[in-house]
Copies of this chain bind each other. A is one copy, B any other.
């Protein structure tokens, strides 16, 4: 097909929903380092992981070899309710920028959870159901993951216990109500319902909680209640695997029109969206079939790729989870109150960390006022109010498109629009009122938390 026939939105046919997830690890020469048992310092076994995660998800977590893992029919049926997600050609944005670049974005926000998180939530809930479990536990910060999981559990008739960082629980009552509408129980964390929660409350009575602390509580409830397992919305290999549907669909849509992206851009918190979006492209790059420039965008307030170190670290503050080798700012690093809650995590997916370490992708960090400038511009021109997280990618996509304007290059830019900002209006209000500020951690701050990394 000729390129001028590309529609505003490229929808794949329902039959083009991928039949298998793509596991990028299969094509990596240097595999991501294994999770370690913090007690023994040895790689976690399937049995040890099985106390926390569902069996089939453990298998996926440990499988560095199988390139394609079939998506069960039941999950594909759920996907059909909101997928294929559109690949949008940003004609209006291109025109407004006056750029010769061609901008595409894969929009994952057209579902009630408002983000791509649903892609992994339904997979994890499905395997829990299949294992005959009663329910799952998790934590949520910004609330996107918790919402997605509650939707998946409602669909399958699974119990869903969400520990929501207390400050979000109080400041985002609407997110909480969506989860309750989907039948989840939502507990502000730290809570007095767990040992780790009670301990933290004793030590820090006025604390408003943190993601790391909520993880600890959710894991404790999972391992101490028969019939429950813990699920996590990012960082893990299994999550990147499920999220590969984003990239597979995006690539299929571009392939249908003979378009090859020159630059692929995604925001990066724990890596779920970025890892999913880039996976099939990265596969081609790893196999030497094609080259792509791949850019991870992180907030300047929480710059794990650009200013962290590549080492083993805890994923949670309670230090009860396995150790993961990743780019990290240290699990004791406390990011400033950036409004992109989904990007406020001290570490990064082991898979993406390895790829970044091996030079297969770049990373850059951006400040939040410039991110909201891009968000507002995008909203007015493209008609979608983006999530603050997604807007990190928008910022860099616009910057790259403007560079093309300088050079006259007609590059194809693809970025991931992970979700919508309907529940982030407090942040937009701050921006609209001119009250948004930027905070960049000092070298000393980062050095201090990195100094506390566990010795392995």
Task: Report which A residues bind B (CB closer than 8 A).
Answer: 7-9, 11, 13-14, 78, 80-82, 92, 110-112, 114, 151, 154-155, 173-174, 177-178, 180-183, 376, 379-385, 420, 422-423, 425-426, 428-429, 431-432
Contact = CB atoms under 8 A, between A and B. Distances in A.
B423 A422 contact: yes
9 contacts: A9-B14, A9-B81, A81-B382, A111-B384, A155-B380, A155-B383, A174-B174, A174-B422, A177-B428
Contacts of A423: 422
Contacts of A182: 379-380
Contacts of A154: 379-380
Contacts of A384: 111-112
Contact of A376 (B78, B81, B181, B426): B181
A382 B432 CA distance: 35
A381 B155 contact: yes
Contacts of A379: 112, 154, 181-182
A304 to B, nearest CB: 29
A437 to B, nearest CB: 18
Given A112-B385, A385-B178, A425-B177, A183 B7 contact: no
Contacts of A82: 383
Contact of A383 (B151, B429, B432): B151
A420 B111 CA distance: 10
A420 B174 CA distance: 13
Given A9-B80, A11-B11, A80-B8, A180 B112 contact: no
Nearest to A6: B14
A382 B423 CA distance: 21
B380 A178 contact: no
A120 B8 CA distance: 20
Given A9-B80, A81-B92, A432 B177 contact: yes
Contacts of A14: 7-9
A218 to B, nearest CB: 22
A384 B147 CA distance: 12
Contacts of A381: 155
A383 B111 contact: yes
Nearest to A122: B383
Which of A13, A383, A385, A426 gathers most chain B CB within 10 Å?
A383
Nearest to A147: B385
Contacts of A380: 151, 154-155, 181-183
B155 A429 contact: no
A173 B111 CA distance: 23
A81 B383 contact: yes
Contacts of A180: 428-429, 432
B429 A173 contact: yes
A14 B78 CA distance: 25
A319 to B, nearest CB: 35
A403 to B, nearest CB: 25
A162 to B, nearest CB: 14
A432 B431 CA distance: 32
A177 B432 CA distance: 8
Contacts of A385: 112, 178, 181
Contact of A8 (B81, B111, B376, B429): B81
Nearest to A385: B112
A256 to B, nearest CB: 13
